[in-house]
Amino acid sequence: MKPIFIVAGIFVVTSYAFAESVNFDNDTIGKTPSGWTCGVTGKGVPHWAVEADTIAPSHPNILKQSGSAMFPWCVKDNIELADGMVEVKFKPIAGKEDQAGGLVWRWKDGNNYYVARANALEGNVSLYHMTNGSRKTIEYKDAPVESGKWHTLSVDFKGTAIQVSLDGKTYISTTDNHIAGIGKAGVWTKADSVTLFDDFNYATASSK
């Protein structure tokens, strides 16, 4: 069991009543994963597809975003998560404007959700809220994000408290009240990022 963390006097107990892991290994190569919806916030043409990768963390398959769009996203349809955690392994491999991998949660629709992302070109981890299609920065911190390497990005959240970690180290602990209630969760990129994703995990926070 993970320890609690404290943000501005509000504690978040990161013990979970339900958890699930998705590794895309049973999905069809060349297609979007079954039970997921993919799209974009803003303009552009994202391209989400399952591909084979024999050296992925849990081979043989990964989810790859290789299109170019403002903010591509792909969410799991059956998630209804208000408080809990999301986590994914990601590998940024190309992109002149960005090389980003991210997570979304409390996703209401393509224009309203939270997003945390790590960017190899900028060397940082950032937290945003997307409201009516407009991305607003909550906080960002410098962090070592290496292109061509697998990283683990995770977010714990309960009420207004949010904690963002990269490769096991917490970089952001804060509060924000822009988006409340249940929503879907999934993965996210930016601009021309070509990014691989594997081992997407999510869990519901225990009510105890």
Domain-wise residue ranges, the chain: 5-205
pLDDT at 208: 58
Residue 103: is its pLDDT beyond 80?
Answer: yes
- DSSP letter at 123 equals T
pLDDT at 8: 41
Mean pLDDT of 87-106: 97
Say how far apart CA 167 and CA 185 lie, in whole Å.
Answer: 20
Instruction: Give the dihedral of Cα atoms 163, 80, 188, 15; nearest 10 deg.
Output: 30
Q: What is the CATH number of domain 5-205?
A: 2.60.120.560
pLDDT at 10: 45
The pLDDT confidence band at residue 14, using thresholds 50, 70 and 90, is low
User: How much of the chain exceeds pLDDT 90, in percent?
Assistant: 88
Q: Residue for token digits 């978040």?
A: 12
Say how far apart CA 186 and CA 115 lie, in whole Å.
Answer: 9
The pLDDT confidence band at residue 18, using thresholds 50, 70 and 90, is low
Residue 69: is its pLDDT beyond 50?
Answer: yes
